[in-house]
C-alpha cells in the first residue's frame, strides 16, 4: 500500500524565544515492510541540521536556531510504501542490545496492579502469550480520548481503566517486560480508511521473541501491524521515541498544535 502523510507541529509562545534546539525523529526508516518513496522536512534551522542515527537506530536531525521567535512550524510529509508481514519487523538497524529493552522508565514503572495484570497471562508458546496479553490489556484499558495526557504513566492509565494508544502501548510494554520479554515503544502513523483523510498519529509496541525477532502488537486495535501502519521512531517509551524533543531559552507558556493527515496515495498522484 502507498500511504501519503502530512505531519504539522505548530509551536506558539506567549513570550518570544531567543534560542531553540530540537531533535527531529521525523524520517520513516526503510526496512523489509516499508519503503520511503518521497519525504521532506521543513523546519527552522533544517538547512544546517546535523543528521545522525540515535541510540535506538532512529534517523534524526539536530536543528538549532537563534533570534526572537513567537512561533515555529515543523512540517514532515511524503509517501511511504508498506507491506503486510504480520507484524514481524526485519531489516531495521539494531544499535541497542536487546536487553536494553527490559529497562524500566518513569512511564513504564510497574506497580502491584500491573504485576497482577501480567500474571493473568498463561504459560506456553511465546507468541500466543503475547496475543493473550494484547487482549488482556485492551480489556483492562478502554479506548477513550481526553481522559489521559502525554504524561500519564502505565500505572495511572491502568488505574483509570481508560486511555488512548499511547497508554495501551505503555501498559502492554510494562507487562511484557514483567513476564520476561524485551519490549519497546513505536510511534508512527495508521490509516484507518481508504478514502477519507484521517488524523492518525499512532503508537504501538514491539516485543522481542527468540527465534523470531521483533513483533509488533497494537493493543488499541487488537492487531499486529499491517500494511496500514507506517513506522516512524522507537524507544523505551513515548518520551524517548518522541518525534520532536528539544529545549529553548525564553518562550514562556508554550502551546503546541499537531495536525496529522494520513490517506491512501492515489495512482493519479504517483
Distances (CA, A) of 245 to 5, 74, 107, 154, 182: 20, 12, 16, 21, 24
Grid cell for residue 113 = 496492579
What pairs with residue 18 in β-bridges?
none
Q: Which residues of the chain have pLDDT under 50?
A: 195-198, 268-270
pLDDT of residue 207: 98
What pairs with residue 250 in β-bridges?
17
Whether this model's pTM surpasses 0.85? yes
pLDDT of residue 197: 41
Place of cell 519490549: 183
pLDDT of residue 267: 58
Quick one: residue 210, left, alpha or beta (phi over 0 = left, psi -120 to 50 = alpha)? beta
CA distance 263 to 259: 13
CA distance 263 to 77: 12
CA distance 176 to 99: 13
Cβ neighbours around 118 below 10 Å, total:
21
CA distance 96 to 34: 21
What pairs with residue 27 in β-bridges?
none
Distances (CA, A) of 126 to 58, 108, 205, 259: 27, 21, 15, 37
What pairs with residue 34 in β-bridges?
31, 82
Beta strands at 229-235 and 183-190: parallel, antiparallel or unpaired: antiparallel
pLDDT of residue 193: 67
Amino acid at each position: 500500500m502507498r500511504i501519503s502523510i502530512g505531519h504539522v507541529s505548530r509551536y506558539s509562545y506567549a513570550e518570544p524565544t531567543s534560542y531553540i534546539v530540537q531533535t527531529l525523529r521525523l524520517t520513516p526508516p526503510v526496512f523489509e515492510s516499508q519503503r520511503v518513496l518521497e519525504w521532506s522536512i521543513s523546519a527552522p534551522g533544517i538547512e544546517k541540521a546535523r543528521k545522525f542515527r540515535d541510540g535506538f537506530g532512529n534517523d534524526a536531525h539536530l536543528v538549532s536556531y537563534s533570534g526572537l521567535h513567537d512561533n515555529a512550524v515543523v512540517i514532515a510529509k511524503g509517501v511511504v510504501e508498506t507491506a503486510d508481514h504480520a507484524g514481524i519487523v526485519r531489516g531495521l538497524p539494531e544499535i541497542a542490545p536487546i536487553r536494553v529493552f527490559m529497562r524500566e522508565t518513569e512511564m513504564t514503572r510497574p506497580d502491584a496492579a500491573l504485576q497482577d495484570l501480567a500474571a493473568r497471562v498463561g504459560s506456553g508458546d511465546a507468541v500466543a502469550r503475547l496475543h493473550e496479553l494484547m487482549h488482556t490489556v485492551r480489556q483492562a484499558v478502554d479506548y477513550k480520548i481526553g481522559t489521559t495526557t502525554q504524561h500519564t504513566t502505565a500505572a495511572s492509565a491502568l488505574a483509570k481503566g481508560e486511555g488512548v494508544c499511547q497508554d495501551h502501548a505503555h501498559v502492554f510494554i510494562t507487562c511484557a517486560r514483567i513476564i520476561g520479554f524485551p519490549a519497546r515503544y513505536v510511534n508512527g502513523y495508521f490509516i484507518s480508511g481508504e478514502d477519507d483523510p484521517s488524523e492518525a498519529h499512532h503508537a504501538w509496541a514491539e516485543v522481542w521473541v527468540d527465534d523470531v525477532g521483533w513483533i509488533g502488537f497494537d493493543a488499541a486495535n487488537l492487531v499486529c501491524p499491517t500494511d496500514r501502519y507506517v513506522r516512524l521512531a522507537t524507544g523505551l517509551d513515548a518520551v524517548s521515541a518522541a518525534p520532536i524533543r528539544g529545549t529553548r531559552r525564553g518562550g514562556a507558556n508554550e502551546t503546541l498544535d499537531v495536525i496529522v493527515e494520513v490517506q491512501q496515495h492515489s495512482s493519479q498522484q504517483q
